[in-house]
């Protein structure tokens, strides 16, 4: 399992953070992110950029991209932020069923969208992302 796609709505807040955190922990894997309704070409939200910097990661080069069928085919694992995203991507691309899971799957939690909210909402989202990544790392390494 070396190709991992992280997915949210706009691809500027949550999925880029999940992408850089997974990529840091899994340097031999190909990790990328996209959005279900991406703000195509937009940089990561400035607060997400700051949070990444606070944790030793760089989101300065990130640009939002729309999820495509090709991305879904290439991904061996698709990690979404909310149960609604799972349902939406499976409806758009039925062939992804069986490889789409919430990042918070093991803790049974969604990661709420912090877009246009204060820093505290971004910090809460990052805590959920970090927990989800931690929960998935052992499983991904076992399958890689």
Q: Which tokens in the block code for residue 107?
A: 């803790």
Mean pLDDT for the chain overall: 97
pLDDT for res 93: 97
Give this prediction's pTM.
0.97
**105-142 burial: b if 16+ Cβ within 10 Å, else e:** beeebbbebbbeeeeebbeebbebbebbbeebeeebee
As given in the structure block, the two tokens for residue 140 are 């991904």
Q: Is 14 a catalytic residue?
A: yes
Show the CA angle centred on residue 28, arms to residues 48 and 129, nearest 5°. Answer: 30
pLDDT tens-digit map of 58-83: 999 999 999 999 999 999 999 999 99
Active site residue 110: no
Per-residue model confidence (pLDDT) at position 47: 98
Tell me which residues of the chain have a pLDDT lower than 50.
none
Domains and CATH numbers, the chain: 3-139 (3.40.50.2300)
97 is a catalytic site residue = no
Rounded Cα–Cα distance for residues 8 and 4 (Å): 14
- What's 97's DSSP letter? T
- Cα gap 108→62, rounded to integer Å: 28
* Catalytic residue of the set 13, 14, 72, 102: 14
Among 24, 63, 110, 113, the one annotated catalytic: 113
Please identify which of the residues 8, 13, 72, 102 carries the catalytic annotation: 8
């Amino acid at each position: 399992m070396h190709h991992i796609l992280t997915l949210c709505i706009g691809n500027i807040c949550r999925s880029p953070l999940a992408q850089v955190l997974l990529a840091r922990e899994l340097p031999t894997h190909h990790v990328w992110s996209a959005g279900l309704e991406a703000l195509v070409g937009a940089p990561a939200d400035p607060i997400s950029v700051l949070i990444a910097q606070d944790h030793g990661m760089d989101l300065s080069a990130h640009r939002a991209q729309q999820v495509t069928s090709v991305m879904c085919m290439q991904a061996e694992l698709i990690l979404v932020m909310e149960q609604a995203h799972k349902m939406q991507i499976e409806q758009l691309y039925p062939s992804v069923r069986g490889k789409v899971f919430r990042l918070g799957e093991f803790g049974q939690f969604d990661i709420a969208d912090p877009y246009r909210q204060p820093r505290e909402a971004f910090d809460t989202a990052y805590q959920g992302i970090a927990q989800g990544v931690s929960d998935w790392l052992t499983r991904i390494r076992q399958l890689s």
